[in-house]
Amino acid sequence: MEDSIHPPWDSPGVIVLDGPALLANLDKLDSTDSLIDLRSPILGAIAPKFSSEFVRRGIVGYLASSNFPTWNERLSKFSGFLAPPFDSGILRETIRLGLIPCIGHIGEGILASNEAQAMRRPQKVLLRIRGGNLSLDSGPSGFLPLIEKIRTLPMLEVIGVFLDEPFSTRIQCDQLSRAVSKHLPETRSMMILGAGNGPIPVRFKQIKIISDSILGLIPSNPPLTSTLSIKLWGYPLSETEKGFLITSDVGWRDGIFTKARPVIRVSGETGRIISVKEKRIVVEIPRRPNFPSPFLVTLLGNDFEFVIGPQEWSDFNLSEMVEKMKNHLPSFLKMEGEEELEYF
């Protein structure tokens, strides 16, 4: 049976996210006391719509970047964390809104303290760790100088650390534990973000970050279902000795990789991209589809009983491609029991 997803007639294509499939992927993970990573433009766009479902599954907060709107009424029930990097204006706004910044420089700590004093309320912060060896960076962005200074700044409460990359050895964990014991001796436990599958220091609780892997676009353990469909309108180009050529009005400027040659589908026919230009792709199929033009070109998702999965794009960063295409194609959210798609 042909998939019911079609692009709008005034657009060259469409991206559709399957809401129930996304929630099913989330159910396969242990999301209790975790953060959803809104640094992903797609997760950032849909998070407000899924806020109630996230709460039911134990998600307690979100991690945002400086270009994400830091406040949304439907996200106000979560703890918001601001990941580095960010400028002083964003830091001030973060503190005004009561979110938790990841401080990575003594100057940021001083600014955060001044803002907290002006607001007359304590401010929780995370301390950023850029590299595994804490003693290498002795400057104002180094962790050891930072934690030593932070303890002297009024109105700041250090609740944990943010790792740019996971620790790889227990020696790194011991370094961190000793630094916290020395400079924050009254602290009984702290959270650690960004630890991944690396070792965890004593007295630290790992807070997992749920990334855009829940979109099912990359191999994962446990295996997750692909949640996205990408459909384009295709038009007859010419016949060849090998078959029939179709063109669609998207290209590398819209996000498709110039060297991409994946297997795709065109209205029931299996084909392959053979050329990617600035504003169009050319697809070769064995014969003209038994449907009137324009044809339905499936880059990702279902076409009749055939599924174009992320494995067809395994040589490329599919998440990056989708994020770029989202800037040029309309994107819709499909929920169970709802006939109309909701734009995101």
Instruction: Give CA–CA dist 50/27, Å, rounded.
Output: 14
Please state the domain extents for the chain.
Answer: 20-215, 225-343
**220 backbone dihedrals φ, ψ, rounded to 5°:** -150, 165
What kind of fold does domain 20-215 have according to CATH? TIM Barrel (3.20.20)
**Among the listed residues 62, 27, 56, 106, the one whose alpha carbon sits nearest the alpha carbon of residue 209:** 62
Instruction: Give CA–CA dist 278/117, Å, rounded.
Output: 53
What value does the mean pLDDT of the chain take?
A: 92
Instruction: Give CA–CA dist 88/111, Å, rounded.
Output: 8
pLDDT tens string, the chain, 344 residues long: the values are 345 678 999 999 999 999 999 999 999 998 999 999 999 989 988 998 899 999 999 999 999 987 665 556 778 889 999 999 999 999 999 899 889 999 999 999 999 999 999 999 999 999 999 987 888 888 999 999 999 999 999 999 999 999 999 999 999 999 999 999 999 988 888 999 999 999 999 889 999 999 999 999 998 888 999 999 999 999 999 998 889 999 999 999 999 999 999 999 999 999 999 999 999 999 999 999 999 999 999 999 998 889 999 999 999 999 999 999 999 999 999 887 666 678 88
Helix%, strand%, coil% for the chain, nearest 5: 25, 30, 45
Sequence-ordered strand ranges (E) for 32-155: 34-37, 59-64, 79-82, 100-103, 123-129
CATH architecture of the domain with residue range 225-343: Beta Barrel (2.40)
The pTM assigned to this predicted structure is 0.87
Q: What is the pLDDT of residues 278-336, one digit of tens each?
A: 999 999 999 999 999 999 999 999 988 899 999 999 999 999 999 999 999 999 998 87
